[in-house]
C-alpha cells in the first residue's frame, strides 16, 4: 500500500516539477506529508488500493506544496532604484 501511495506522489511531483527545481529536502517533506495523510485515511477505511478521491487529494496537495516550495522566477528586467 505504501508503495502505491509513494508512486502516485512521485508521479505528481514529476508532473509539477519536471525540471527538478524544488530542493531535495522540500521534496521529502511533500512525500512524507502526503504519504502520511493518505495512508491514515486508507488505513482508517480499511482499504489497500487508491481510489479517485485519494488521487485527487494527492494531486491537489502535491501541486499546492510544490508551488509553495518552487523558487521565485528570475526577473527579466532589473528593478529601478
What is the torsional sign of CA 7, 57, 23, 32? negative
> Mean pLDDT throughout 46-70?
95
- The residues, ordered by sequence, that sit 6+ positions from 59 with a Cβ below 8 Å of its Cβ are 12
Confidence of residue 73 (pLDDT cuts 50, 70, 90): confident
Please check the confidence at residue 77 and state whether its pLDDT lies above 80.
Answer: no
Cell of 58: 494527492
Please check the confidence at residue 79 and state whether its pLDDT lies above 90.
Answer: no
Digit-coded pLDDT (tens) for 12-27: 999 999 999 999 999 9
Amino acid at each position: 500500500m505504501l508503495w502505491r501511495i509513494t508512486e502516485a506522489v512521485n508521479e505528481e511531483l514529476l508532473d509539477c516539477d519536471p525540471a527538478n527545481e524544488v530542493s531535495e529536502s522540500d521534496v521529502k517533506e511533500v512525500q512524507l506529508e502526503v504519504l502520511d495523510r493518505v495512508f491514515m485515511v486508507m488505513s482508517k477505511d480499511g482499504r489497500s488500493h487508491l481510489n479517485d478521491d485519494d488521487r485527487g487529494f494527492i494531486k491537489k496537495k502535491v501541486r499546492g506544496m510544490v508551488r509553495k516550495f518552487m523558487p521565485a522566477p528570475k526577473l527579466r528586467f532589473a528593478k529601478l532604484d
